[in-house]
């Protein structure tokens, strides 16, 4: 049940998951989860509050012991008892392992109080108050299943058993009415502390379940992060179905992959395609593109979704296309001994233009993609390209600076376009 509540809380982070596509770690995106911050704050501040109360309580207890005796030994013991919680607090704050010993400090508290009651002339009310403070603080901070809790209980039982006459005389001196009132107050305080401890344990369970579910979400998001749309589009209002953007589109396709598939078994050809997809996908991520889809033996990549300069988007796309040439050559070289027939290269088409960006489809099955005339032109350029050739449209060529080697090609007649398509070849 706790885990189910925790997983439900993680769904509130769904609008933040796209941040991973912009290089932001998913752990940072998930910091916006609306989990129980109260339990986290309590976990960090409660030890300091307890230490402050312990310091005041031990100082008061040492003062009562000091006022009841003129012995030098008792005074030294009282001084040590007053300084003890302060030293423990300093150890907790400045030691790297102070938090590990936090629960063990309550065992030392019980031992110090037990020695003081058994060995010193402590006034009855002071002894009773010290025992109550130990019971209250340990009930608040210790789980019943821990060995520290058992040790504290054992020490308190031994003190009461060994000093039974002392406590009997003290209650007798107070009288029946005051003794009952005092015992009622102590019982109420102990019950309240137990209730708080139980509620704290329940909240800790919720927090741990939330943290475990959050870690699982982080792992899942990390695995699919390259395929998520960017955060700015996820944060768009639901009514904004699509928006117009000037983008640079990249479409690539393996040449003669059908012939390779006909000569080899499906498993071997699928392994080749997977190697191709992984190699090209890594370059897409390296150059900051958004992978729109895989098309069997090709891929569609979009640049400019993150509202960057159109010139920068075109340059990144061109750099990626140039990097894919040697990457594909190395891949095919690795496969030469396993296949009798290899793809002869890949065709690449690049075009820059205005597109519709958003989620399209029926409400039950939406697909985040880009649509428009620009996609059609990029696809036609890819079809016009020769093996291992990169064709860019005139619009993309205008966005590239003089550092790129472009060779003009004759304008081509393209189905669906009224005018001829002007384009160039991008050379190394």
Query: The domain spanning residue 384 has which CATH number?
Result: 3.30.70.1230
pLDDT digits (tens, 9 = 90+) for 240-264: 557 888 999 999 999 988 888 888 8
The pLDDT assigned to 352 comes to 95
Q: Say if 227 falls within a structural domain.
A: no
Whether 228 maps to a domain, the answer reads no
What's the mean pLDDT in 361-385? 86
Check whether 21 has a pLDDT greater than 80: no
- What mean pLDDT is predicted for residues 380-390? 93
In contact, 410 and 379? CB cutoff 8 Å: no
Position 114 confidence tier, pLDDT thresholds 50, 70, 90: confident
Res 258: pLDDT: 86
Q: What is residue 181's predicted lDDT score, i.e. its pLDDT?
A: 74
Boundary of a domain, candidates 196, 222, 248 = 222
Residue 166 included in any domain:
yes
279 and 194 fall within a common domain: no
Backbone angles phi, psi at 173, to 5 degrees: -65, -35
Across the range 10-26, mean pLDDT stands at 39
**What mean pLDDT is reported for the chain?**
76
Of the residues 158, 187, 222, the one at which a domain ends: 222
**CB burial of residue 108 (10 Å; 0-12, 13-18, 19+):** middle
What percent of the chain has pLDDT above 70?
72
Verify that 321 and 257 share a domain, yes or no. yes
pLDDT at 208: 80
Q: For residue 2, what pLDDT is reported?
A: 40
Confidence band of 50 (pLDDT split at 50, 70, 90): low
Binned at pLDDT 50, 70 and 90, residue 177 comes out as: confident
* Distance between first and last Cα of the chain: 60
- The answer to whether position 231 is within a domain reads no
Are 67 and 172 found together in one domain? yes
Q: 213 CB contacts (<8 Å, ≥6 apart)?
A: 3, 6, 7, 9, 10
pTM of the model: 0.52
Tell whether 217 and 335 lie within a shared domain: no
Do residue 96 and residue 139 come from a single domain?
yes
The reply to whether 229 falls in a domain is: no
Q: Name the strand (E) or helix (H) holding 390.
A: strand 390-393
Cβ–Cβ under 8 Å, residues 305 and 230 = yes
Segment 221-229 mean pLDDT: 60
Residue 230, domain member (yes or no)? no
> Is residue 326 domain-shared with residue 190, that is, in the same domain?
no
Does residue 262 share a domain with residue 197?
A: no
At residue 380, the pLDDT reads: 93
Domain that holds residue 263: 236-427
The total number of structural domains in the chain stands at 2
Pair 258, 397 in one domain: yes
Q: Is the residue at 169 inside a domain?
A: yes
161 and 240, same domain (yes or no)? no
Greatest mean pLDDT among 4-8, 120-124, 128-132, 309-313 lies in: 309-313
Strands (DSSP E) found in 240-294: 242-255, 290-294
Answer yes or no: do 261 and 149 share one domain: no
* Percent of the chain topping pLDDT 90: 25
Are 206 and 260 members of one domain?
no
Q: Are residues 8 and 139 in the same domain?
A: yes
């Amino acid at each position: 049940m706790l885990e189910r509540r925790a997983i439900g809380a993680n769904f509130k982070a769904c609008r933040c998951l796209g941040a991973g596509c912009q290089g932001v770690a998913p752990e940072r995106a998930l910091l916006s989860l609306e989990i129980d911050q109260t339990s986290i704050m309590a976990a960090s501040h409660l030890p300091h509050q307890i230490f402050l109360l312990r310091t005041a309580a031990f100082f008061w207890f040492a003062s009562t012991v000091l006022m009841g005796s003129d012995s030098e030994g008792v005074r030294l013991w009282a001084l040590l008892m007053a300084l003890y919680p302060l030293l423990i607090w300093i150890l907790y704050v400045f030691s790297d392992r102070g938090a590990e010993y936090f629960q063990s400090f309550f065992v030392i508290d019980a031992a110090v109080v037990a020695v003081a009651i058994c060995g010193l002339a402590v006034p009855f009310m002071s002894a009773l108050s010290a025992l109550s403070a130990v019971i209250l603080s340990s009930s608040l901070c210790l789980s019943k299943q821990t060995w520290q809790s058992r040790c504290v209980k054992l020490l308190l039982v031994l003190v009461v058993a060994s000093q039974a006459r002392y406590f009997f005389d003290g209650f007798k001196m107070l009288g029946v009415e005051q003794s009952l009132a005092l015992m009622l107050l102590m019982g109420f305080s102990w019950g309240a502390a137990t209730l708080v401890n139980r509620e704290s344990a329940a909240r800790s369970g919720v927090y741990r379940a939330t943290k475990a579910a959050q870690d699982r979400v982080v792992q899942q998001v990390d695995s699919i992060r390259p395929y998520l749309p960017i955060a700015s589009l996820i944060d768009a209002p639901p009514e904004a179905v699509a928006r117009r953007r000037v983008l640079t589109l990249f479409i690539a396709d393996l040449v003669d992959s059908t012939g390779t598939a006909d000569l080899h078994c499906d498993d071997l050809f699928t392994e080749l395609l997977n190697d191709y997809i992984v190699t090209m996908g890594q370059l897409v991520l390296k150059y900051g593109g958004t992978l729109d889809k895989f098309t069997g033996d090709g891929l569609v990549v979009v640049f400019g979704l993150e509202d960057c300069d159109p010139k920068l988007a075109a340059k990144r796309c061109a750099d990626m296309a140039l990097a894919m040439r040697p990457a594909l050559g190395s891949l095919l070289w690795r496969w030469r001994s396993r296949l009798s027939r290899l793809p002869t290269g890949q065709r690449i088409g690049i075009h820059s233009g205005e597109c519709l960006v958003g989620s399209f489809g029926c409400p039950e099955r939406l697909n985040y993609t880009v649509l428009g005339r620009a996609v059609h032109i990029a696809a036609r350029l890819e079809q016009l390209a020769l093996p291992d050739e990169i064709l860019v449209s005139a619009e993309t060529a205008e966005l590239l600076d003089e550092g790129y080697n472009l060779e003009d090609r004759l304008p081509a007649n393209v189905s669906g376009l009224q005018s001829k398509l002007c384009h160039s070849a991008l050379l190394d």
